[in-house]
Copies of this chain bind each other. A is one copy, B any other.
Amino acid sequence: MKDFTFCAPTRAIFGRDTELTVGRELKAAGATRVLMQYGGGSIKKSGLYDRVVGAIRAEGIELYELGGVQPNPHLSLVHTAIDLVREKGIDFLLAVGGGSVIDSTKATAVGACYDGDVWDFYCGKATPEKSLPVAVILTIPAAGSEGSNSSVITKEDGWIKRGLGCELYRPVFAIYNPELTYSLPAYQTAAGASDIMAHIMERYFTNEPDVDMTDRLCESVLKTIIKQAPVAVKDPTNYAARAEMMWASTVAHNDFLSCFRVGDWSSHQLSHELSALYDSTHGAALAVAFPAWMTYVYQHDVTRFARFAVEVMGCEMDFFHPENTALAGIAALRSFFNSIGMPTTLSELGVPDDQLPLLAAKVKRGPDGTTGQFVKLTEEDCLKIYQLMR
């Protein structure tokens, strides 16, 4: 059992119409000049933009905005945002969107308080010491960035995608109205489900013994997604399904499920390369990467994979041949991803076979040349896992 420090200070404000409280909440948090970032404009079509702007202006807060944040958010837009923050004397950042918008906002928050290039933080050259406060109105349950200490940014020069863990920019508050997710297309809903599950599974597959409680908590949230994602895909205005997915998004990644455990994270590293080079949706890349990683490593701890199969995927335990149960669980996960419309092969992502060595070479590895904790993977291991995704 690993020692830990846990703090999830983000205040969650959950329910219908909660976006209308954003002005009041910002004011209470001391905001006077706010930069709001958002994505491709769907919030204008839905009317959310007008409601949010109205609620903020009603409190006499000066509001600036920057739309156009893309999936796998780009460093160049973060630079633009930082310039805007400095030019306008912004003192509070608001993200209205999903993980990409929130991550771009978080990068802006630490970048604006730093003299050098914000990329220094993402490539490990520097550590943030200060951050502007960040708040969120969540529209896509997936990345968990609304409650997490992490953000992921893509540098266009070389298409390098890197994450940064930093307690300073955990959002002050996050607003959740499940109805805001009713308009999410089935594909994005399913990709969100896959992302949430991946965040939990990265924590679930650990070598730490005696972690029953967080094992059970992980299984609980995984089972929630397995139940609710198919409902949300088929019945997009199902409030309960949308609500549980939204809250699961946060719980999966605010480190509550990390207590006592060491996470793995190599499936994320493998999938980051797919997203960086082929602009695959993060969740879709994870749906491809995770079952392949599982197939490659399950023999490292057959019992844990059998437990996953039984407790999460509902497989029957084969006490004579636990390995069969472990494999059945992986197959069931792959089937689940397919059933909600996720890809599970590289060809579905448009990744040609001859690119696999390049991908394997690009995977971020530590000083010892490996990635992952459950099993430490070399470049050769990464290549073999990419080959299992074909």
Chain A residues engaging chain B, CB cutoff 8 angstroms: 1-16, 18, 209-210, 212-213, 216-217, 219-221, 223-224, 227-228, 239-240, 243-244, 247-248, 256, 259-260
Q: How far, in whole Å, are A247 and B261 apart by their CA atoms in the complex?
A: 13
Q: How far, in whole Å, are A12 and B1 apart by their CA atoms in the complex?
A: 15
Closest to A167 in B: B11
- Residue with the greatest number of chain B CB neighbours at <10 A, chosen from A219, A227, A243: A243
Q: Are B240 and A1 in contact (CB under 8 A)?
A: yes
Q: How far, in whole Å, are A259 and B11 apart by their CA atoms in the complex?
A: 12
Q: Are B16 and A12 in contact (CB under 8 A)?
A: no
Q: Are B13 and A5 in contact (CB under 8 A)?
A: yes
| Chain B residues positioned under 8 Å from A6 (CB to CB) | 11-12, 14
A89 to chain B, nearest CB (A): 28
Closest to A221 in B: B213
Q: Are A216 and B212 in contact (CB under 8 A)?
A: no
Q: Are B3 and A247 in contact (CB under 8 A)?
A: no
| Chain B residues positioned under 8 Å from A216 (CB to CB) | 219-221, 223-224
| Chain B residues positioned under 8 Å from A8 (CB to CB) | 8
A209 to chain B, nearest CB (A): 8
| Chain B residues positioned under 8 Å from A223 (CB to CB) | 216
A217 to chain B, nearest CB (A): 5
Q: Are B9 and A4 in contact (CB under 8 A)?
A: no
Q: How far, in whole Å, are A227 and B18 apart by their CA atoms in the complex?
A: 40
Could you name 29 residue pairs across A and B whose Cβ atoms are closer than 8 Å?
A1-B240, A1-B243, A2-B15, A3-B18, A4-B12, A5-B12, A5-B13, A5-B14, A6-B11, A6-B12, A7-B9, A7-B11, A8-B8, A12-B259, A210-B240, A210-B243, A212-B224, A212-B227, A212-B228, A213-B220, A213-B221, A213-B244, A213-B247, A213-B248, A216-B221, A216-B223, A219-B220, A247-B260, A256-B256
Other contacts beyond A2-B15, A216-B224, A256-B256: 17, CB < 8 A: A1-B239, A1-B240, A3-B14, A3-B16, A5-B11, A6-B11, A6-B12, A6-B14, A7-B9, A7-B11, A14-B259, A212-B228, A216-B220, A217-B220, A219-B220, A247-B259, A247-B260
